[in-house]
Amino acid sequence: QVQLVESGGGLVQAGGSLRLSCVLSGSILSPNAMAWTRQAPGKQRELVAEITSGGTTKYVDSVKGRFTISRDNAKNTMYLQMNSLKFEDTAVYYCKLRTVVREYWGQGTQVTVSS
């Protein structure tokens, strides 16, 4: 059974940094893609960044140049380094694994940026 567990969220002042981690356990099919999504209060969930098992990345425009997604396949862990955080980055951040069979989601970690 595949499980994803996020950590690293918290409260930070605008301009600060946080690093989120997502640890993946279970049998994982390849190829696959892992992603960070987020949902702010009253808004739809949006894709923040994605990284494939081959290392190809993509970002939503609003975080380009500030966030960096990475993964360590040996540790089954994905990261999101978030710098220059803005108030509008406040949201619950979810880890997602996409395989050819289905998608898996973590429970989320809260990121709150104070202005």
β partners of residue 98:
33, 103
**Token digits for 106?**
């973590």
pLDDT(40) > 90? yes
70-87 pLDDT, tens digit each = 999 889 999 999 999 999
- Categorize the per-residue pLDDT at 60 as very low, low, confident or very high, splitting at 50, 70 and 90: very high
Q: Which 8-state DSSP code applies to residue 18?
A: E
β partners of residue 67:
82
C-alpha distance from residue 1 to each of 7, 24, 33, 104 (Å): 20, 10, 17, 10
- Categorize the per-residue pLDDT at 32 as very low, low, confident or very high, splitting at 50, 70 and 90: confident
CA trace torsion 94, 51, 82, 45 (10° rounding): -30
pLDDT(30) > 80? no
What is d(CA 90, CA 85) in angstroms, rounded to the nearest whole number?
A: 9
Contact predicate 51/78, CB 8 Å: yes
Q: Which residues of 1-16 are buried (b: 16+ CB within 10 A; e: fewer)?
A: eeebebebbeebeeee
